[in-house]
Structure 1
Amino acid sequence: MPAEYLTFAHGALDCVARLLSVELRPGDAVAMEDPGYHHLLDLVPALGLRTVPVAVDDEGIRPDALRAALRSGARALICSPRGQNPYGGWFSAGRRDALLGVLGEAAGEVLVIEDDHAADVAGVPLHSLTTGGLARWAQVRTVSKHLGTDLRWGALACDRTTLARHDGRMVLTSGWVSHVLQETVTRLMTDPETQGLVAAARSAYARRREALLAELSAREVAAHGASGMNVWVPVRDEAAVVNGLRTRGWWVAAGARFRLSAGAGVRITTAGLGVGDAGGLAGDLAGVLGEAQVTYGG
């Protein structure tokens, strides 16, 4: 991806909030993944902006949904090229090209913000929209998913105009990202032992996610999780599934906080789920879904 213009921020949300604040005005529309990351879904309206849902599938945001959002007046797009939270989608090369085609049709200037939050542990290659010659773009990467949640550091690669606007606002607020923090992140990124741990984590996360998907498939439970650390399971009654699994010792997240107009579902975070535990969780989930179906049937 292009890296001619780089700057830093205090994490992804800090960076995205600053970009939206300097680029848009209250009432402007932002195209958002649906389902999508709940903190971003909360952030956009908190800034006085409107959210426009963009449906996703296993390859990330859908071109037809993006086209509809842009035609409705969205002036910015926030998306994840891989490890999408909570659905797990990731851009194939073909999907990336199709999305660039849609963006090329847009009337007016659209700021594209890629949140590559799980870059080092997503478990799949990157096919970035930033390689498509966009006029206005930014890609954000953080280290909280693989180096430590308290390392509040984010890197931003972007076009020249976006860099100037982001840094101009940052000078007036926090000023800069601690050089002590930057040095810590640099040393961790270049340390061979740390690199080995990150590689091992990437493989472990993939095995755990794939183990649960396989166990769910064996029980004919539809689920999505092509990359990253989450699995999304469509359900009819989120509360019934969450509460049913809780009584069996499992804690999963109701999908309501991740949705705009998408169908109901639950998010299962697989990062800490041992491969040997996948069958037990899948069996309990299938049982809970069966109980919910009986209830629906009267």
Structure 2
Amino acid sequence: MVSLATGSPLTELLYWYSILSVVEQYGIVGGTAREISASVESGVADGTLRPGASLPPVRRLAEALGVSAGTVAAAYKELRGRGVVVTLGRGGTVVASAPAVNSRRPPRVPGGLRDLAGGHPDPAHLPVLTPPARLEPVPGSHRAAPRLDPLEEAARAWFARDQVPAESVTFAHGALDCIARLLSTELKPGDAVAVEDPGFHHLLDLVPALGLRMTPVTVDDEGIRPEALRAALRSGARALVCSPRGQSPYGARFTPARRDELLAVLHDFPDVLVVEDDHNADISGADAVNLASGGLPRWAHVRTVSKHLGIDLRWAALACDPATLARHDGRMLLTSGWVSHILQATVESLLADPAVTRLVAGASDTYTTRREALIEELSAHGIPSHGVSGLNVWVPVRDESSVVNGLRTRGWWTAAGTRFRIMSPPAVRVTTATLTPAEAVRLARDFAEVLAESQAVYGG
């Protein structure tokens, strides 16, 4: 039990008023750790407790609820393990930026604005999807034969083209589905995962939702930095998730020299699972340079087709070491079982179509032209940016909000970098997939004007 406050009657009255106000302010109730954590989770789910909201200190909430501090501490620990809250040291316990009980969806683009925030491909450079006209009924399930032979052979050829070992290949429902399964079968709650910083925002949401901790690894134009990776692995990270090219949001891509440096670090940590997310493989505008070909004992290389064949094609191909494949497929067998054969047949027909191959090659050239056009126009205004591959350009700024809002008043909808960052400096991400070179001229001019205005206010 919690002891009563002591002192003058007025002091005691004020003390108990402050204690009782905790329940009213936060809406947290319960007499056990499970009840308290469920109450917090309910508040997060219905929006009462919003991302970033501070929870009361352990002892203060314990006094308000009439339970022990250990009970509240156990509740907070359970919430941390499920990715609902995070602890910021002296900053206390706060609701996670993307709590696992409440999915964070992108805001609706206001009418009249040019959308350059989504990271999506240009629909004009995607093929029309044609599902198979006929598929015979299945006598039972596909668990015994989850992969269509023609698509499996096509996937092996796709990997082998870029020197990715293709002896062990399987399928999943998209890159994040695959990565989530790999991490959940390899790690236990509380383990650390090394992730790119800045990095893919959905991955940064996924890792804590799995009850795992993120260890940021800084990125430059050649990908993750070797010294930062070594520091992350020395601190105990048990897995690494990275992009060899078309990295979002920075646009980084591995060079042969950087790959060799990273392999030298990774060979000192043979128990670490290395997951490469090569989701932009065919439209990144960069050569295939990967870690998967480096003889690592534990590795996985994931590719999808949503960026170059269609966002409705939730299919991923995975090449990996035999042990990783067994763990992945064992978990899939117990859950979804297999990827729809209708989806597989659709993907296989697209991969085998020469006209689609030509369309994808043209899209890759167009995306490179558009990305480089914006970088050149920004440079002409003295604005440095990054984007040597992929569909985005990363522009460092001092004040993300003022820049995003300033561009909005000029008709541009861009993404504040805070969604993609852990410890890296502020920036704005611009998706260039649909941005024509002519539009890049106007955007760069507007960007320069907004920066001048924001810097005047920032320094005033």
TM-score interval, smaller chain: over 0.9
Q: Indicate the RMSD between aligned Cα atoms, in angstroms.
A: 0.6
Structure showing greater relative contact order (alpha-carbon pairs closer than 8 Å, 6 or more residues apart): 1
Q: Does 1:43 align with 2:206?
A: yes
State how 1:44-83 maps to structure 2 within 5 Å. 44-83=207-246
1:275 shift after superposition = 1.2
> Matched residue of 2:282: which SS?
helix
User: Following superposition, which runs of at least 4 residues in structure 1 exceed 2 angstroms of deviation?
Assistant: none
Cα distance in 1 for partners of 2:357, 2:288 equals 18
One of 325, 343, 352 as aligned partner of 1:190 = 352
Q: Of residues 319, 323, 327 in structure 2, which corresponds to 1:165? A: 327
TM-score by length of 1: 0.99
Q: Deviations over 1:20-49 (max 9, x none)?
A: 010000000000000000000000000000
Measure the CA separation in 2 of the matches of 1:76 and 1:126. Answer: 22
Q: Which residue of 1 aligns with 2:105?
A: none
What's the counterpart of residue 256 of structure 2?
93
Query: For residues 440 and 395 of structure 2, what CA distance do their matches in structure 1 show?
Result: 14
Provide, for residues 225-245 of structure 1, a one-character-per-residue CA deviation record: whole Å limited to 9, x for no partner: 010000000001000000000
For residue 374 of structure 2, what is the amino acid of its counterpart? L
Aligned residue number for residue 312 of structure 2: 150
1:249 is aligned, of 408, 411, 422, to 411
Answer yes or no: is 1:102 the counterpart of 2:265.
yes
2:278 to 107, 112, 116: 116
Task: Give, as a single letter, the amino acid of the residue that structure 2 aligns with 1:75.
Answer: R
Matched, 1:239 2:401: yes
Report what 1:125 is aligned to: 287
Shift of 1:105: 1.9
Look up the match of 2:369.
207
Q: Deviation digits for residues 199-241 of structure 1, max 9, x if unmatched?
A: 1100000000000000011111010001000000000100000
- Matching residue's letter, 2:189: P
How far has the Cα of 1:174 moved from its partner?
0.1
The whole-number CA distance in structure 2 between the counterparts of 1:174 and 1:285 is 46
Q: How far apart are the structure 2 equivalents of 1:23 and 1:104?
A: 19
Question: In structure 2, how many angstroms separate the alpha carbons of the residues matched to 1:105 and 1:8?
Answer: 30
Structure 2 stretches of 5 or more lacking a match?
A: 1-163
Q: How far has the Cα of 1:190 moved from its partner?
A: 1.2
Distance 1:68 1:190 in 2: 44
Matched residue SS, 1:54: strand
CA distance in 2, matches of 1:152, 1:286: 39
Structure (1/2) with the larger strand percentage: 1
Q: CA–CA distance in 2 between the matches of 1:44 and 1:253?
A: 21
Query: Who is 1:23 aligned against?
Result: 186
Q: Percent identity between the aligned chains?
A: 68
Q: Which has the larger radius of gyration?
A: 2
| Other structure's SS at 2:193 match | strand
Cα offset, 1:179, TM superposition: 1.2
Provide Cα deviations, 1:104-157, integer angstroms capped at 9, x if missing partner.
Answer: 122x50000000010010011111101110000000000010100000100000
Corresponding position of 1:275:
437
Partner Cα separation in structure 2 for residue 292 and residue 222 of structure 1: 16
Distance 1:132 1:217 in 2: 36
Q: How many residues align?
A: 297
The one-letter amino acid paired with 2:180 is A
Q: Aligned partners of 2:435 and 2:257: how far apart in 1?
A: 32
Q: 1:220 aligns with which of 382, 389, 393?
A: 382
SS in 2 for 1:81: coil
CA distance in 2, matches of 1:28, 1:54: 16
Q: Tell me by how many angstroms 1:194 deviates.
A: 0.5
Distance 2:289 2:355 in 1: 27
What amino acid does structure 2 have at the position aligned with 1:141?
R
Establish whether residue 9 from structure 1 lines up as the match of residue 172 from structure 2.
yes
The whole-number CA distance in structure 1 between the counterparts of 2:348 and 2:249 is 29
1:293 aligns with 455
Match of 2:332, SS state, is helix
Cα distance per residue 1:238-293 (max 9 Å; x no partner): 00000000000001100001001000000000001011111100010011011111
Offset, 1:297:
2.0
Cα deviation digits, residues 31-72 of structure 1 (max 9, x gap): 000000000000000000000000000000000110110010
Q: What is the CA distance between 1:90 and its match in structure 2?
A: 0.2
Kindly provide the amino acid, as one letter, of the partner of residue 43 in structure 1: L
Match of 2:117 in 1: none
* SS of 1:140 mapped into structure 2: strand
CA separation in 1, counterparts of 2:459 and 2:398?
12
